[in-house]
Structure 1
Amino acid sequence: MSNTNYAKVIVKGSPISKSNFKLFNINGRAILPYNSGKYHDRYALYEEEIAYECRLQNPGLVLSEALIAVLKVYYKSKKRHPDTNNITKSIFDGIEKSGLIVNDAQVRRIIIEEFYDEENPRFELELFGESSYKMNYSITKLDSPVSPINYGPPPNKKGEGKTLKADTKHISKDNSKLTCEICNKTVSKESSITANKGKTILCKNCFKKLF
């Protein structure tokens, strides 16, 4: 394959979704912290890892034309993993940051496949320039049907009681005080900032330190 319009990137580790690590500032703008020393840093560090591996595996290469992408995601567990549809945006943010591609809008055709590998979770991404490659695909009916893989509703849709419990885990007994997830200090509702759909509570001092 030509080394000017083809690239492959393999990043080891369980893929994560950007949507799970967003905080929101006072104006409602999404922010991804990277130096708080807390759980929310994981995505920004993962994005940096993707960019690093991308450059290491494809030194000096820049793909600037329209692209076809084949993404294979290998999760560690069948039971608990992010939505594969959300993973796509997360991965291409890191690819774009590396400079391998100019803009993720270049990807005009994409195939995503989901697999499981308990010993070696990872993602494998191949990029093909449309000036040299084309995509052919087909869907055929099985001669002998297999057992379906059925899915239930997301955990936060199973019951209002469970959702309420998750959303109010940082609320104190008097129902008017909240606990900052970082410093564990009790703060009032007026002096706190919520993130992750109300599941994360931060005091304003800790929020300022994040950025």
Structure 2
Amino acid sequence: MNKPYAKIIVKGSPITKSNFKLFNISGRAILPYNSGKYHDRYALYEEQIAYECRSQNPGTVISESLIAVLKVYYKSKKRHPDTSNITKSIFDGIEKSGLIINDAQIRKIITEEFYDKNNPRFELELFGESHYNLKYVISENESIEEEINYSPPPNKKKFYNSSKKIQNSSEKSSIPRCQICGKPLKKNEIISANKGNTLICKDCFNKLFR
């Protein structure tokens, strides 16, 4: 009996369907196949995934629960889709191939993000739980590695920058503030509670006990 296992490698920059949806007059999301436009790209990518599945695993059909290990290789560290959205898009293509019955079979998944400018791709391994189990360990690095830092999305940069300014100005200011209304407190107006961890102005204190 063959062990329930399959591996699929699909070359090309991984993409997610969320960027290619159109909406019909009823507001329902659709993925066009033959509009002749940019939005066809995801449907063609899904077909590519299904084709590679069948080619690389001929005659294989796995119907049991699965552990999935997905390695996604992008061209760039900075410009790529959210990896958290990639998994659903890939498994739709895997299900379409007939290699698995339903993507609900995947009960455990590990997703890793890598970068390969010359050979973007994804590599997926599927392990049947009747023969395989998953163990993982998180340990400290022997030496500190270079940080990979991220910037906020364009639509959130203004909010992020203004929040940082407020935070920085608050950190610089040593003036205590009422933790209910937020107004600055003078020494003779401070009422403390919770062992000094909570500061309240007299006005708010009086309102609480009216």
In structure 2, runs of 5+ residues without a counterpart are: 160-210
Report deviation, 1:157: 2.0
Report deviation, 1:152: 1.2
Stretches of 4+ moved more than 6 A in 1? none
Contact 1:4 1:61 survives alignment (8 Å): no
Report deviation, 1:4: 4.4
- In structure 2, the partner of 1:207 is none
Question: Distance between the aligned counterparts of 1:9 and 1:106, measured in 2?
Answer: 17
Question: Distance between the aligned counterparts of 1:21 and 1:3, measured in 2?
Answer: 38
Question: Distance between the aligned counterparts of 1:159 and 1:46, measured in 2?
Answer: 34
Aligned in 2, Cα 1:3/1:53: closer, same or farther, shift over 3 Å?
Answer: farther
- In structure 1, the partner of 2:21 is 22
Report deviation, 1:52: 0.3
Question: Distance between the aligned counterparts of 1:94 and 1:125, measured in 2?
Answer: 12
Aligned alpha-carbon RMSD (Å): 1.3
Contact 2:13 2:121 survives alignment (8 Å): yes
- In structure 1, the partner of 2:51 is 52
Question: Distance between the aligned counterparts of 1:156 and 1:93, measured in 2?
Answer: 29
Report deviation, 1:158: 2.2
Contact 1:33 1:41 survives alignment (8 Å): yes
Question: Distance between the aligned counterparts of 2:67 and 2:58, measured in 1?
Answer: 20
Contact 1:16 1:82 survives alignment (8 Å): yes
% identical equivalent positions? 79
Report deviation, 1:53: 0.3
Which has the higher Rg, Structure 1 or Structure 2? 2
Question: Distance between the aligned counterparts of 1:9 and 1:89, measured in 2?
Answer: 15
Per-residue CA distance 1:96-126 (angstroms, 9 max, x = gap): 0000000000000000010011111000000
Per-residue CA distance 1:6-51 (angstroms, 9 max, x = gap): 0000000000011000111122211000101100000000000000
In the superposition, the TM-score normalised over structure 2's length comes to 0.73
